[in-house]
């Protein structure tokens, strides 16, 4: 099956294999994608409203000026995606048990986004508004938080993170032990 139409509504797509495809200027509303392969595809200027990607490969997708409103990613693989290039009008994203490596969320207002139980390696959050976000049980190895608003964010159960409390707003953020001690590593103090 190919996606030749311009608009799709209330459709379920299963086992689609469309790597390296141009899927620009499309609109998907209330659609579910299950076990689909979209790696290296171009979703530029496409709109996704109330959509769900479950067990999909979205590695190296191009998202330039795409709209992502109430989009859920469940057990999906997203490597090398530049979310910083999406349309910023209304952004609503949630990630559950997904791999999000080498992605860029820089300068985005993505308050209250959930990154539950995700593996996030070397992902960038530069000047992002992450207030109220939930990184519960996420593995954040080498993920960079710089000049971010992390007010009321939750890192309960998260591991391998480094958040500089001087460079980021961490007021009322929640952390669990022993990982919370990583916040002190910047100060070169000895904890005994």
Listed range (19-23, 130-134, 178-182) with the worst mean pLDDT = 178-182
CA-CA distance, 6 to 3, in Å (whole number)? 8
Neighbour count for residue 26 (Cβ, 10 Å): 19
- Pull the structure tokens for residue 145: 């938080």
pLDDT given for residue 187 in this prediction: 60
Rounded to an integer, the average pLDDT of 139-143 is: 97
CA-CA distance, 181 to 191, in Å (whole number)? 9
- Taking only Cα atoms into account, the Rg of the chain, rounded to an integer number of angstroms, comes to 17
Q: What integer best gives the mean pLDDT of the chain?
A: 94
- Pull the structure tokens for residue 119: 């593996």
Using the structure block, give the residue that is written with the tokens 């999906």. Answer: 76
For the chain, which domains are there?
1-95 (2.160.20.80), 105-185 (2.160.20.80)
Q: Given its phi and psi angles, is residue 166 left (phi above 0), alpha (psi -120 to 50 degrees) or beta?
A: alpha
Neighbour count for residue 88 (Cβ, 10 Å): 13
Neighbour count for residue 81 (Cβ, 10 Å): 22
Write down the pTM of the prediction: 0.93
Checking if the pLDDT of 190 tops 80, the result is no
pLDDT tens-place string over residues 71-87: 999 999 999 999 999 99
> Residue 67: helix, strand or coil by DSSP?
strand
User: What is the pLDDT confidence band of residue 155, given thresholds at 50, 70 and 90?
Assistant: very high
pLDDT given for residue 191 in this prediction: 64
Of the two residues 80 and 89, the one the predictor is more confident about is 80
């Amino acid at each position: 099956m190919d996606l030749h139409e311009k608009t799709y509504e209330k459709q379920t797509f299963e086992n689609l294999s469309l790597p390296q495809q141009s899927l620009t200027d499309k609109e998907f509303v209330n659609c579910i994608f299950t076990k689909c392969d979209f790696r290296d595809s171009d979703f530029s200027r496409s709109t996704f409203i109330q959509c769900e990607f479950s067990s999909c490969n979205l590695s190296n997708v191009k998202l330039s000026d795409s709209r992502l409103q109430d989009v859920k990613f469940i057990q999906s693989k997203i490597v090398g995606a530049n979310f910083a290039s999406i349309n910023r009008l209304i952004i609503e994203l949630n990630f559950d048990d997904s791999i999000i490596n080498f992605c860029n969320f820089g300068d985005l207002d993505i308050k209250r986004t959930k990154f539950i139980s995700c593996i996030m390696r070397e992902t960038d959050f530069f000047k992002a508004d992450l207030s109220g976000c939930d990184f519960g049980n996420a593995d954040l190895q080498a993920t960079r938080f710089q000049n971010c608003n992390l007010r009321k964010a939750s890192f309960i159960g998260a591991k391998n993170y480094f958040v500089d409390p001087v460079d980021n707003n961490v007021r009322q953020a929640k952390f669990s032990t022993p990982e919370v001690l990583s916040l002190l590593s910047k100060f070169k103090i000895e904890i005994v």
